[in-house]
Chains A and B, each alone.
Chain A
Amino acid sequence: DAGVTQSPTHLIKTRGQQVTLRCSPKSGHDTVSWYQQALGQGPQFIFQYYEEEERQRGNFPDRFSGHQFPNYSSELNVNALLLGDSALYLCASSLGRIETQYFGPGTRLLVL
């Protein structure tokens, strides 16, 4: 039973560029949540997708957007990258919006 997978594992971008991160949920899960974890901090909630719609959103600007596909996989897009966007981006999946979330290994993004 595959757990949550994320790609790529690492990414280096320059300021102003755009990036797309991908997540495949744990088998049987239908809800995907995205988090940003800066160095030395706890994960910060970005948004949650359920039934292909954004259901909840944290305090992140519109530069952060996402998508959920019919197979429940999800993408996180960040436009106009800033140095401060450098972080570990975590995807978590769950069966339903309020059930326990299981995390992927993360994508480490470095913005130069």
Chain B
Amino acid sequence: AQSVAQPEDQVNVAEGNPLTVKCTYSVSGNPYLFWYVQYPNRGLQFLLKYITGDNLVKGSYGFEAEFNKSQTSFHLKKPSALVSDSALYFCAVRDRNRDDKIIFGKGTRLHILP
């Protein structure tokens, strides 16, 4: 069965520093991978996705993510954090070779400290 793990409930980063939000996944076949962000009392906003090709994916708001097949990871990164990046981040996976359900992780709360 497919699954997603976000090992950190919360990540604290000083403004201007680089940030990383971790995600590992498990699927039987090849994955589609996604990152979404959720602001308080809002729905999820799409940030980026990996389908195939280049392992470094660039997305919205300066975020990027690196697909690592050997480590089954898809960590979200940003070179310089902004206070406005503070939100809840979700990693999600879909198994390309099975059904079309997307499985979400539990989320990581990112706090950017001014």
Contacts and interface: CB of A to CB of B under 8 A. Distances in A.
B46 A98 contact: no
B45 interface: yes
A33 B102 CA distance: 10
A102 B45 CA distance: 7
Given A45-B103, A98-B100, 19 more contacts: A4-B43, A33-B102, A35-B104, A41-B106, A42-B107, A43-B90, A43-B104, A44-B104, A45-B101, A98-B32, A98-B94, A100-B46, A101-B102, A102-B46, A103-B36, A103-B45, A105-B42, A105-B43, A108-B41
B100 A55 contact: yes
Chain B contact residues, majority secondary structure: strand
A106 B43 contact: yes
Interface of B: 32, 34, 36, 41-46, 49, 90, 92, 94, 99-107
Interface size range on A against B: 20 to 34
Interface string A24-60: 0000000001010000111111001000000110100
Contact of A103 (B44, B49, B94): B44
15 contacts: A42-B90, A42-B104, A42-B106, A43-B44, A43-B90, A48-B101, A56-B100, A56-B101, A58-B101, A98-B100, A103-B36, A103-B44, A104-B43, A106-B42, A108-B41
